[in-house]
Amino acid sequence: MTLDTTQLNRERVFFETGQTLWLFGYGSLIWKAEFPFHERRPAHIEGWTRRFWQGSHDHRGTPEAPGRVATLVESSGACCQGMAYRIDADTLAPLDVREKNGYLRERITLHFHDGSHAEGLIYLATADNAAYLGHAPLDQMARQIATAEGPSGTNRDYLLNLAAALEDLGAEDSHVFELAERVTRLP
Ligand code: SIN
């Protein structure tokens, strides 16, 4: 069962229309930027950590066999590396559709490598959304990711593309790297 967040997100207008805004990507938005942007800069956010705790019924799995994709959980002192995109506000409409399976627009402070910061947006899937799966042992999550597949492709590719993108960024993320290692070891 999924809850489509598209309409909810259209009402979550935190920035003036007609201006550009920063979007922080921490999952597929790092490596699959199929949307127009003015500039792209590596960035991080503080107090959040990436976890494969969100179910995917529409991209990397199906309602019968959901995949697992990235969301963020609050974690004091944590730092999550990702990619910031400066986009037109209009670009959010198709992104709302792409992220409709439980993700909500939220305001966040982005930190850039030069020490500057900016207010921006993330798409966040919290524990109260219908597609949320939450914590499971890494081996169990790896088995689920190794077998799930949906209209956007395999769950395995989502994970391995994210791990490769994080490596390119020089990011630390033991959760993602350990999951990727387990998935590649599975037959
Ligand atoms: C994101 O990448 O920032 C959100 C989650 C996803 O689309 O994978």
C-alpha 133 – ligand 1 centre gap (Å):
16
Residue 31, in any domain of the structure:
yes
Q: Is 115 exposed, middle or buried (0-12, 13-18, 19+ CB in 10 A)?
A: exposed
Q: Ligand 1 in contact with 26 (CB < 6 A)?
A: yes
- From the alpha carbon of 162, which atom of ligand 1 is closest? 8
- Catalytic residue, from 16, 99, 149, 181: name it: 99
Residue range(s) defining the domain that contains residue 134: 6-185
pLDDT of residue 2: 60
Task: Please state whether beta strands 39-56 and 67-88 pair in parallel, antiparallel, or not at all (unpaired).
Answer: antiparallel
Q: Is residue 1 part of a domain?
A: no
Asked whether residue 15 is assigned to any structural domain, the reply reads: yes
Looking at residue 160, its pLDDT comes to 98
- Does the predicted model carry a pTM greater than 0.85? yes
The answer as to whether 87 is a domain residue is yes
Total domains in the chain come to 1
Residue 70 CB partners (closer than 8 Å, separation 6+): 26, 27, 28, 50, 51, 52, 54, 162, 176
pLDDT for the residue 1? 43
Is 99 tagged catalytic?
yes
**For the domain that residue 84 is a member of, what is the CATH number?**
3.10.490.10
Q: 150 in ligand 1 pocket by Cβ < 6 Å?
A: no
CA of 185 to the centre of ligand 1 (A): 25
In tens digits, the chain (187 residues) has pLDDT values of 468 999 999 999 998 878 899 999 999 999 999 999 999 999 999 999 999 999 999 999 999 999 999 999 999 999 999 999 999 999 999 999 999 999 999 999 999 999 999 999 999 999 999 999 999 999 999 999 999 999 999 999 999 999 999 999 999 999 999 999 999 999 8
* Structure token pair of residue 90: 């209009």
Helix/strand/coil for 56: strand
* 52 within domain boundaries: yes
Residue nearest to atom 3 of ligand 1 (CA): 25
* CB of 22 sitting under 6 A from ligand 1: no
Three-state DSSP class for 121? Answer: strand
- Could you tell me if 53 and 146 are in contact, meaning their C-beta atoms sit under 8 angstroms apart? no
Q: Exposed, middle or buried, 166 (CB in 10 Å: 0-12/13-18/19+)?
A: buried
Contact 66, 133 (CB under 8 A): yes
